[in-house]
Structure 1
Amino acid sequence: LTQEEGLRFAKLIEDQVDCFQTSCGVMGEFRLIPYIHPAYFLPQGKNVHFAARLKQVVSKPVTAVGAVVDLELAERIVASGSADMVAMARGLLADPWLVEKSLGGRETEVVPCIRCNECLARVARFIPVRCTTNPRAGLEVETLRSHPVSLHPRRVVVVGGGPAGLQAAITAAERGHQVVLLERSFRLGGNLVAASAPPFKDEMKRFLRFLRDRVEAVGVEVRLGVKADASAVAAERPDLLVIAVGAEPVWPDLPGIGDARVAWAGDVCAGEAETGSRVVVVGGGAIGCETALHLVRQGKEVVIVEQLAEVALDYNFINRSLLLELLSEAGVDVQTSARVVEVRGDGVRAVRGDGEHANLVADSVVIAMGMTPRRREVEELRGAAPQVVSVGDCVTPRFLMDAVREGFHAVAEL
């Protein structure tokens, strides 16, 4: 159906229904799934205008749905007259107590949905639902078995202030333990700082703020600028040490890799490294593709070079299909089955799958070849406490969901 046909159909059945709910298509049309359930690449309230249009032609109540994940936006939609009601699912999976907290003046305690669509992708694969930001989702029965407050408070030291370390510290403190968090840098967030930096990831920024605010609210003692070695940790006399030192970028061993025009994708996204107007992104995974989208939206000419036959293979199918569409529409040149073999003064030299060499002109080269765990630091800290557990990317680099969930479970039964 076109929009006009849909509106005419709504008029035909108006006397047979009590309420209309509007979206932008049906699940059977695969290309529309990322718009029916808008991912973080798309604006909040992406489909509200459909509800507003329908309200102009029917007299029955109209419900808006799609990318409405907080009550502030929901209230604006209703107040503006765009819809009579708002439907919400992902936001309530991230925090089932969203309404109660908001009405009680506890908005800062609301766990935000980041619209990553991992919940939907898991359901589509017939595996239990989970939520990236809510480690209890899908495990409500299991987590309720834990005492909300520990009967035997312990001293917990967390090394690393990324998402895994922050979640571990929050959960331990919420359960009544004494928690000290040691972070080498002078800010909390780890690689989540760079991951949340592009303008299209505002919800992820909200989640980072939530973690930082929550750590303070539950009384975690945070020490920034501390390089924690085994002796420093042992001096704290912890009952449990949570190692969450994260991962660092993989740097290829290429001629010219030390050139000043070469930067890591995370630094580029975080605004800590500048690029020229023509950029080659080396690596077409999640980091490389999001960096490319970030740069092309700044007006840069961007080429992605990826060794595999396809890019963005580490995304769920919902977000991947949308990202590929956005990259194509923006004019990003995606070169697959190719690898960069040299950084040159005027760009890079690449070899394609058929053995053909190509010189790609660029002012800047951005490295996005994945992450490698800080295993040496993990090994150095292993004997620093009676009980030690490693969580997050320092075990092996994965997804934000894994970091949050491991941080939670590391202390949920302590």
Structure 2
Amino acid sequence: MPETPYKSLFQPFRLGHLTLKNRIISTSHAPAYAENGMPMERYQRYHEEKAAGGLSLTMFGGASSVSLDSPPSFGQLNLASDDIVPHLRAFSDRIHAHDVGLMCQLSHAGRRTRPTSGNWLPTIAPSPIREPAHGAIPKLLEHSDIRRVVEDYSAAAQRCLDGGIDGVELLASGHLIGQFWSPLSNQRSDEYGGSFENRIRFGLEVLEGIRARIPDEFVISLRLSVNEFIDGGISEDEGIAIAKAYAESGLLDCLNVSGGANWTKAGVAETVPSMAFPSGRFIELAGKVRRAVQLPVMHAAGIADLATANFAIAEGHVDLVGMTRAHIADPHLVQKHLAGQDDAIRPCVGAGYCIDRIYRGGDALCLHNAVTGREKILSHSIRKAPQKRKIVIVGAGPAGLEAARICAERGHNVVIFEAQSQPGGQVNYIARTPWRSNMIGIPRWQYDQCKALGADFRFNVFAEKSDILDEHPDVVLLANGGMPESGMIDGAEQFGFSIWDVMSGEVAPNGNVLVYDETGSQSGPSCAEFIAGCENTKVDLITPDRMIAENVGVTNHAIHLRNLHQMDVKLLPDLRLKSINREGTELKAVFVHEYSGKTQTRCYHQIIVEAGTVPNDDLFDSLKHRSENNGALDYNAALNNQEQPSLLKVDGANGKYALFRIGDAVSDRGLHAAVLDSHRLCQSI
């Protein structure tokens, strides 16, 4: 037993033919790294990093398609083709080299996808009932379709076996198998509808087809939502009855328990719970299932720390703990813990950036770990630099802190100037919204790492050119961010406040308040929620976009809408603010409708304008002409993990330095872009 306080978590476990070295796993998900439906090098490296990091089982291929009429809606793998088998063999070799098990999730999405993608075949479902999240109106599943899909599942499992994969998991929650279970999606009157026994029949036939084709030692798991938390859906009692029926069939090796109705937009936020929900939200639900069945039980939703994971095992709620997003944040978390380096574990704060990107057609990226998903170019392990340099950084927001951390890990002498009294930058404002308070964990971790590595912080210093040059730097990194933009709004600079004014506490919200949002990000709704929580306020949230928070992904968007509606914030899209004027004690806001062109006037006591930021250029302009590179970044070097050419010429002792900007000091692109700027520049300094 390794030296750890989490004894239960680090006990080995037997799952089918697999002996797992601990109870920590990464559950199935689709990071959208597939290339033409195949798990190529990027996909494999992403999972290999976790395997090298010390977990016992990594599951891949979230909702991998088993049939031609189950097109990927968010970059899933294609298990309907033999072309995948060689890639699976390479994949399994990579993972097994680290003494880690490998499983793949199989699914027919049924109605939970779009017919206007892939092969443009109609979606299918037990009944032709529209699915809210994707909008598909499916074709009624005929008996010939049922026989075909059952065979497709077994063929896909065979491909996994041929590829050296240790087992498969069937995704039931919200997908075709689960669509047969729920009365909300199954209104059939034949042998597949109506009674409990009829509704669970299809899933059992799928399992029977797989077991008839593959060896008994091949592991099969079933992932199910035991409570859909929606009127008329699967209740807790029925969910447990379903779990029990499948367990007693003798066709399964384990159950993977979660909750929520992932076929509604609000339900997705519950199924993949963010920081708005308690940690390990479905642990007790999983425990009820475990006590009802004679099978191992996994939990796959929202456990981000080892203490909670150990609790789930020690108290008998589960046998295996999914820490999937925790491994996206830090794939080496197990290895670091066992080495006594818990403080070095980068925390998952539950921001939901990873899953939200997928649902918007992007790939899964961690909000504050720029390496995850980029393992081919960037590295989670920072190497010492061949030459020690003096690095001066201006700004201790996420960009500056990440740059300082990496430079300090490489052995450089790092000085950071920060105008505020504490690190964090705009994250300090974000975290004032109660349900987003976990965000403060990002700069706190970065700062603690920097201090442990010996970085020298100078707070309450508004750095000027002389402050920087007095340090005789080899490299100057400007992470001093930007200032709030007032947009193209007449009177905004005179009569409008910024979100920073409110969230910093400098301006106290009062009366009838307008939050006008041109960015479609989380800033506007977060500010509106904060103001609505203050006394004596009434809030309108208005945007020229077609919807509030248009650029926010589903798991966060759903929480914002829930909170805003509960707090009676008035939501008005399609209105562009043109001017602000004072009339007596009120401010008159004039809007133009984006589509009709009609104008309207509304009156407020306060107006908050969110239009992004513009860079603080003054310091950069004062420094760039004396720098070796005139402040320019060599893009080819940055994108190919190469040292910036200008670094070959610098010598701080002789007044020669290279100058670079990162994060919002370049342009307003969000937190992930800020830490990515820092990582790909600094890992080669």
CA distance in 1, matches of 2:492, 2:324: 49
What is residue 659 of structure 2 aligned with on the other side? 388
| Deviations 1:165-198, CA, capped at 9 Å, x for gaps | 1111110110111111112222212212112222
Q: Which residues of 2 match residues 191-230 of structure 1 at below 5 A? A: 191-230=426-465
| Deviations 1:330-367, CA, capped at 9 Å, x for gaps | 4221112224432542354332415242334x444333
Corresponding residue to 1:293 among 529, 544, 547 = 529
Q: Which residues of 2 match residues 16-55 of structure 1 at below 5 A? A: 16=250, 17-25=252-260, 27-55=262-290
CA distance in 1, matches of 2:671, 2:392: 21
What is residue 358 of structure 1 aligned with on the other side? 601
CA distance in 2, matches of 1:221, 1:82: 46
What one-letter code is carried by the residue in structure 2 that aligns with 1:346? E
Corresponding residue to 2:517 among 283, 289, 296 = 283
Corresponding residue to 2:408 among 173, 178, 186 = 173
Answer yes or no: is the 8 Å Cα contact 1:288–1:369 preserved in 2: no
What is residue 615 of structure 2 aligned with on the other side? 373
Answer yes or no: is the 8 Å Cα contact 2:514–2:542 preserved in 1: yes
Secondary structure at the aligned position of 1:141 is classed as: coil
1:7 aligns with 2:247: no
Answer yes or no: is the 8 Å Cα contact 2:403–2:679 preserved in 1: yes
Answer yes or no: is the 8 Å Cα contact 1:112–1:203 preserved in 2: no
1:310 aligns with 2:542: no
Answer yes or no: is the 8 Å Cα contact 1:245–1:378 preserved in 2: no
CA distance in 2, matches of 1:218, 1:143: 21
CA distance in 2, matches of 1:88, 1:62: 14
Q: Which has the larger radius of gyration?
A: 2
CA distance in 2, matches of 1:294, 1:53: 37
Secondary structure at the aligned position of 2:404 is classed as: helix
Unmatched segments (≥5 aa) in structure 1 = none
C-alpha spacing 1:256/1:221, structure 2 compared with 1 (3 Å): closer
If asked which structure has higher relative contact order (CA below 8 Å, sep 6+), I would say 1
1:107 aligns with 2:350: no
Secondary structure at the aligned position of 1:209 is classed as: helix
CA distance in 2, matches of 1:181, 1:122: 32
CA distance in 2, matches of 1:122, 1:315: 9
What one-letter code is carried by the residue in structure 2 that aligns with 1:406? D
C-alpha spacing 1:348/1:39, structure 2 compared with 1 (3 Å): farther
What one-letter code is carried by the residue in structure 2 that aligns with 1:12? A
Answer yes or no: is the 8 Å Cα contact 1:162–1:244 preserved in 2: yes
What one-letter code is carried by the residue in structure 1 that aligns with 2:283? V
Secondary structure at the aligned position of 1:242 is classed as: strand
Structure 1 residue 21 displacement after superposition: 1.6
What one-letter code is carried by the residue in structure 2 that aligns with 1:398? R
1:158 aligns with 2:401: no
Structure 1 residue 267 displacement after superposition: 3.6
Structure 1 residue 381 displacement after superposition: 2.5
Q: Which residues of 2 match residues 221-300 of structure 1 at below 5 A? A: 221-251=456-486, 254-255=490-491, 258=494, 263-276=497-510, 278-283=512-517, 285=520, 286-298=522-534, 300=537
What one-letter code is carried by the residue in structure 1 that aligns with 2:622? E
Answer yes or no: is the 8 Å Cα contact 1:230–1:384 preserved in 2: no
Structure 1 residue 249 displacement after superposition: 0.9
C-alpha spacing 1:265/1:126, structure 2 compared with 1 (3 Å): closer
Percent pairwise identity? 26
What is residue 405 of structure 1 aligned with on the other side? 676
Answer yes or no: is the 8 Å Cα contact 2:257–2:299 preserved in 1: yes
C-alpha spacing 1:255/1:411, structure 2 compared with 1 (3 Å): closer
Structure 1 residue 19 displacement after superposition: 2.6
CA distance in 2, matches of 1:296, 1:50: 34
Instruction: Report the more deviating stretch, 73-82 or 281-290.
Output: 73-82
What one-letter code is carried by the residue in structure 2 that aligns with 1:359? R
CA distance in 2, matches of 1:380, 1:27: 53
CA distance in 2, matches of 1:78, 1:224: 44
What is residue 323 of structure 1 aligned with on the other side? 560
| Deviations 1:80-107, CA, capped at 9 Å, x for gaps | 5544442111111111121232344322
What is residue 131 of structure 1 aligned with on the other side? 366
CA distance in 2, matches of 1:44, 1:278: 36
Instruction: Report the more deviating stretch, 331-340 or 292-301.
Output: 292-301
CA distance in 2, matches of 1:247, 1:375: 8
1:93 aligns with 2:323: no
C-alpha spacing 1:209/1:172, structure 2 compared with 1 (3 Å): same
Answer yes or no: is the 8 Å Cα contact 2:513–2:605 preserved in 1: yes
Secondary structure at the aligned position of 1:32 is classed as: helix
Secondary structure at the aligned position of 1:108 is classed as: helix
What one-letter code is carried by the residue in structure 2 that aligns with 1:412? Q
Structure 1 residue 151 displacement after superposition: 1.1
Instruction: Report the more deviating stretch, 207-216 or 35-44.
Output: 35-44
| Deviations 1:4-36, CA, capped at 9 Å, x for gaps | 322211111123333322112465554422222
Structure 1 residue 256 displacement after superposition: 7.9
- Give the number of aligned pairs: 411
What is residue 293 of structure 2 aligned with on the other side? 58
